[in-house]
Structure 1
Amino acid sequence: MKAVILAAGYGTRLLKDLQGADEQHLQDLTGTPKPLLPIAGFPLISYWIEALRGGQDPIDIFIITNELYQGKFKDWAKNYPFVTVISDGTSTNEERLGAVSCLQLIIEAFSIDDSLMVIGGDTLFYEDFHLQDVVEEFEVLYRGNNQANLVLSYTCKDDETKKYGIVETDESSRIRAIKEKPSPPETASRQADAPIDEKDAPGHFLSWLVTRRPVFSTSIAGRFDVGNLESYRLCNKYFQENIRKLNYLQ
């Protein structure tokens, strides 16, 4: 298995928030890509690296970023010789390729023909998350069908369905449909997989995939998607308070 961490976004919302923040230490983070933001003293992306290299078998890790931030990621990656950093070739937010195109670029550039774990570089999960448990669940599915896929989902509130892609599963947890930002009456499911955006839209890919391959869902308690200053504060506070109980660094 190999891992790809998607880190090619420009963080325009968060950049504006940091520039307007009252606290100097937050203003000082201006120009820092979201995956390198400090979370309880560690760069956000480092939690994923530690979790990935904590498995029994070594794993190749690829990080795709952009021309603007490539140097910062390469400086950070000097501590991780098993991590490969690649740029998507863009320099502005308007040029960005989007998650699916970035994933395709990585697969083609490194001729990847292997199971692939895809991670959002600005995302972290709650303390119930154990990466090894997810890997083992996937391996069971894969042994039964080498076309199987596994995605993570979590329960959202009724009034949040319009923010996310909502997965509808059968009794075996296989995803039968993904509805993009449905209103509450349009679906009985409350299992969200990710916010949907037209250009940066892995949810569209999953909608395509579930009609062609078996895709299963496994639930986690929740996630932090660091997109603005409020979400950054919440994530940082949560990890500060729960760092000893989290499974990323164990």
Structure 2
Amino acid sequence: MSGSRHLYYGLVTSYRVRDEQVAKCGILEVEEGEEEGEGRPRRIVGFVEKPLPTETASRLACPCFYYLKAQSLHLLEEFLKEKRGEGAALADMDATGKFVGWLVQKSPVYAASVSGRLDIGGLESYIQADSYVSRP
């Protein structure tokens, strides 16, 4: 995917998980077609937060690590306004995965495979993740 050839609003990372790990992750559903691989992101068509393995055939997990273009940020306000209008609970608005799930229905967002997993659930895991991405 080269810079201006595609109009897209974001890129998220993904990695493969086993069946028993599906319910612990946000799972991406991607377009059928070209085999995924390094340098070949695939368009996301669905995002399911912590589904049962029977609820999706996909095994592409998405760590909470998103690259969103500045042009997509106005859509965050639209997302929140829409959710408030529906009377949604805070839990339906405060998880970034909920926004990504909504965003992929509105505009192109792509997934790129990474090896490994970053899971930031507290200070210790944040420090580990920061150390990992800050390596020279």
Same fold by TM-score greater than 0.5 = yes
Q: Shift in Å at residue 247 of structure 1?
A: 7.2
Counterparts of 2:109 and 2:123, CA distance in 1: 33
- Aligned counterpart for 1:156 among listed residues 1, 8, 17: 17
SS in 1 for 2:105: coil
> Is 1:181 aligned to 2:50, yes or no?
yes
> Is 1:227 aligned to 2:96, yes or no?
no
Counterparts of 1:247 and 1:181, CA distance in 2: 25
Q: Spell out the pairing of 1:76-91 with structure 2 (5 A cutoff).
A: none
SS in 1 for 2:98: helix
> After the TM superposition, which segments of 4 or more aligned residues of structure 1 sit over 3 Å from their partners?
228-233, 246-249
Counterparts of 1:202 and 1:225, CA distance in 2: 14
AA aligned opposite 1:177: G
Are residues 226 and 211 of structure 1, via their aligned partners in 2, closer, same or farther at CA, if it must alter by over 3 Å? Answer: closer
AA aligned opposite 1:212: K
In the TM superposition, what whole-angstrom CA distance separates every residue of 1:1-31 from its partner, at most 9, and x where no partner exists?
A: xxxxxxxxxxxxxxxxxxxxxxxxxxxxxxx
Aligned length: 101
AA aligned opposite 2:106: R
Counterparts of 1:217 and 1:182, CA distance in 2: 18
AA aligned opposite 1:158: D
Q: Spell out the pairing of 1:1-250 with structure 2 (5 A cutoff).
A: 140=2, 142-170=3-31, 171-172=33-34, 173-194=42-63, 198=91, 200-228=94-122, 231=125, 235=128, 248-250=134-136
Contact 1:157/1:190 (8 A) holds in 2: yes
SS in 1 for 2:63: strand
Q: Shift in Å at residue 150 of structure 1?
A: 1.2
Counterparts of 2:60 and 2:134, CA distance in 1: 23
SS in 1 for 2:14: strand
TM-score after normalising by structure 1? 0.35
AA aligned opposite 1:188: A
SS in 1 for 2:8: coil
Are residues 248 and 158 of structure 1, via their aligned partners in 2, closer, same or farther at CA, if it must alter by over 3 Å? Answer: same
Are residues 231 and 249 of structure 1, via their aligned partners in 2, closer, same or farther at CA, if it must alter by over 3 Å? Answer: closer
In the TM superposition, what whole-angstrom CA distance separates every residue of 1:93-113 from its partner, at most 9, and x where no partner exists?
A: xxxxxxxxxxxxxxxxxxxxx
Structural RMSD (CA): 2.9
TM-score after normalising by structure 2? 0.59
Q: Shift in Å at residue 230 of structure 1?
A: 7.6
Q: Shift in Å at residue 159 of structure 1?
A: 1.3
In the TM superposition, what whole-angstrom CA distance separates every residue of 1:189-238 from its partner, at most 9, and x where no partner exists?
A: 1111136x9253111111111111111100111223242588579x48xx
Q: Which has the higher contact order (CA 8 A, sep 6+)?
A: 2
Select the structure of larger CA radius of gyration.
Answer: 1
AA aligned opposite 2:51: P
Counterparts of 2:116 and 2:44, CA distance in 1: 19
Counterparts of 2:63 and 2:133, CA distance in 1: 22
